[in-house]
Amino acid sequence: MSEWTAIILAAGQGKRMKSALPKVLHPLAGLPMIHYVVEAAMGAGAREVVVVVGHGREPVVSYLEATFGGRVRVAIQEEQLGTGHAARCALPQLPPEARGTFLLYGDTPLLEASLLRRLAQAWEARPGAPLAMVTCLLDDATGYGRVLRGESGDVKAIREQRDCSAEEAAVREVNPGVYLFSTDFLREALPSLKAQNAQGEYYLTDTIEMAAPRGLATVLGDAGQLRGINDRAQLDEAEEELYQRVAARWRREGSTIRRGARIEATVELAEDCTVEHGAVLRGKTRLGAGARIDVGSVVEDSEVGAGAVVKPYSVLVKARVGAGAQIGPMAHLRPGSEIGEEAHVGNFVETKNTVMHRGAKANHLAYLGDGEIGEGSNIGAGTIFCNYDGFQKHRTRLGARVFIGSDSQLVAPITIGDGAYVATGTTVTRDVPADGLAIGRTPQQNKEGYASRLRGRLQAQAQAAKGAKGG
Ligand code: UD1
Ligand code: MG
């Protein structure tokens, strides 16, 4: 049985974002805005969460279903008639046994579960109160509902800015939109709301005045985590704050995160990692203990093993790097790259759908696509796996301890046996047996004294051409 449940209002369009994407799906540090609010509610003990959707709801619903499954229910508000109306749309979805209902807005992603837990404590400390709410103090209260208190200091009402007198508008204590309602009170109050105000909307905030005679609990929250996102400038500020939180968390866990590194909320780091300035870690990226991601590298949905080093300006997407491997600088590991332990992938090397076994090396300038490279093999500079014939991709297979001389092309499908050599500059079109040597070059000729004869001839030609122009 769950004591707490939650409603999150997210049916508004978010006009000020000027975006085709619904506001609550805008990503911050790798997760959509709504994700943070759902997590905060769950973190505070709400076993299930009802999200009220309306405008552009399909992608919002798909995201919630895919991410939270049955723990999130959806309520539809066909027409956006105000926050009170939106909350009312959620009532049929509330589990009957929930004693208290957190009511939150979908556009406050900085909200933390700890504040909601404080709110629950404040509510418990005031028996009989129909609700508890967070308030906060702002220097500039523009756009927020003002908190009006009576003689005794108790909250009497919330007045929306548009309905405020000049005196009320001067109040700096505002409503950030974070409440914990007695579920019974919510069921009783919402259907009786009237849309008699400047916007002609059903205001959730009118329930405060209804509750006031029975007394309500308030908690003063920190303005920093209560900011609502209405436009892209606020989105940017909030995202910056989230990146700081993520970095602070990994620092506490024992990693060095330089300023200006960007680690998305979905990334996991083992202890003692280093993430340098300007490095970006995205998606399902995982770093093993002591891994180091150097300046300017972008690592997305990839695993980097313990003690591995990704040198500056490398790009990894859906790649796996084994323990102790070295990547870059300026390497590009594309999806399906599996780089073994202690292997090296150097500058201007691109890999795709290629397995490199333990200790293999490709230190300079290569394209290694659709291949398998055996343990301890060495790929010389300028090597190309010619994997594509214009219609199909083919595989290149190298055994263990193979040596590929520089500037060689391996025309797939092709297999090179253990310990074989490919001489520099060879175009390999037939399989090479284990321990064999493939060499395919025109034999070299040396012509003695030829260079000075050649220079003399070229010089004479140049002078003749100059004389012809001058005359
Ligand atoms: C609301 C509060 C205000 C508070 C402010 C905090 C009301 C009447 N006012 O004002 O006191 O200071 O938030 O940011 O509640 N929504 C729906 N359906 C609707 C209308 C809104 O789902 O019909 C959702 C929106 O998607 C949004 C949230 O409710 O997530 C808040 O709506 P918004 O229009 O931003 O309210 P504010 O004017 O900011
Ligand atoms: Mg708002």
- Would you say 84 and 90 are in contact if contact means Cβ atoms under 8 Å apart? no
- Lookup: tokens for 194: 């009237």
Ligand 1 within 6 A of CB of 178: no
Indicate if 364 belongs to the active site.
yes
As a dihedral over the C-alpha atoms of residue 255, residue 256, residue 262, residue 268, rounded to 10 degrees, the angle is: -10
Ligand 1 within 6 A of CB of 105: yes
Alpha-carbon gap, residue 85 to 300, rounded angstroms: 41
> Can you give the pLDDT at residue 469?
85
- Would you say 50 and 5 are in contact if contact means Cβ atoms under 8 Å apart? yes
> Can you give the pLDDT at residue 422?
98
Q: Kindly list the distances between the CA atom of residue 375 and the CA atoms of 3, 79, 357, 378, 379, in Å, as whole numbers in the listed order.
A: 58, 63, 5, 9, 12
Alpha-carbon gap, residue 356 to 374, rounded angstroms: 6
| Ligand 1 center from residue 144 Cα (angstroms) | 9
Eight-state DSSP code of residue 370: S
| Ligand 1 center from residue 153 Cα (angstroms) | 25
To test the pocket of ligand 1, the residue of 105, 144, 160, 161 to mutate (highest count of ligand atoms within 8 Å of its CB) is 105
| Ligand 2 center from residue 231 Cα (angstroms) | 10
Alpha-carbon gap, residue 100 to 94, rounded angstroms: 10
| Ligand 2 center from residue 228 Cα (angstroms) | 6
| Ligand 2 center from residue 82 Cα (angstroms) | 11
Strand ranges (E), 212-360? 217-220, 256-257, 262-263, 268-269, 274-275, 280-282, 286-287, 292-293, 298-300, 303-304, 309-310, 315-317, 320-321, 326-327, 332-333, 338-339, 344-352, 355-356
Q: Where is 398: in which H helix or E strand?
A: strand 396-398
Ligand 1 within 6 A of CB of 9: yes
348: three-class secondary structure by DSSP: strand
**Contacting residues for 311 by C-beta, under 8 A, at least 6 apart:** 294, 297, 326, 327, 328, 329, 330, 331
Looking at the CA of 104, which ligand is closest?
A: 1
The half-sphere exposure of 257 on its side-chain side, counting CA atoms within 13 A, is 25
Which domains does the chain possess? 4-226 (3.90.550.10), 253-438 (2.160.10.10)
**End-to-end alpha carbon distance in the chain:** 105
Determine how many CB atoms are found less than 10 A away from the CB of residue 269: 25
Alpha-carbon gap, residue 281 to 193, rounded angstroms: 47
What residue ranges of the chain have pLDDT lower than 70?
Answer: 1-2, 471
Looking at the CA of 161, which ligand is closest?
A: 1
pLDDT tens-digit map of 65-109: 999 999 999 999 999 999 999 999 999 999 989 999 999 999 999
For 24, counting Cβ atoms within 10 Å of its Cβ (0-12 exposed, 13-18 middle, 19+ buried), the class is buried
| Residue 432, phi then psi, degrees to nearest 5 | -115, 125
Return the closest-CA partner of residue 207 out of 115, 116, 132, 124.
Answer: 132
Those residues whose beta carbon sits under 5 angstroms from the ion ligand 2 are 228
Instruction: Name the pTM for this structure.
Output: 0.92
Ligand 1 within 6 A of CB of 135: no
Alpha-carbon gap, residue 221 to 216, rounded angstroms: 16
> Can you give the pLDDT at residue 1?
44
Which residues does residue 274 pair with via DSSP β-bridges, in sequence order? 256, 292
Looking from the CA of residue 176, the nearest atom of ligand 1 is 6
Alpha-carbon gap, residue 463 to 211, rounded angstroms: 103
Ligand 1 within 6 A of CB of 60: no
Ligand 1 within 6 A of CB of 22: no
- Would you say 298 and 319 are in contact if contact means Cβ atoms under 8 Å apart? no
Q: For the chain, percent helix, then strand, then coil, each to nearest 5?
A: 25, 30, 45
Q: Is the peptide bond before 59 cis (omega within 30 degrees of 0)?
A: no
> Can you give the pLDDT at residue 471?
60
Catalytic residue of the set 277, 357, 364, 394? 364
Looking at the CA of 178, which ligand is closest?
A: 1
> Can you give the pLDDT at residue 13?
83
Ligand 1 within 6 A of CB of 104: no
Alpha-carbon gap, residue 65 to 5, rounded angstroms: 17
Ligand 1 within 6 A of CB of 81: yes
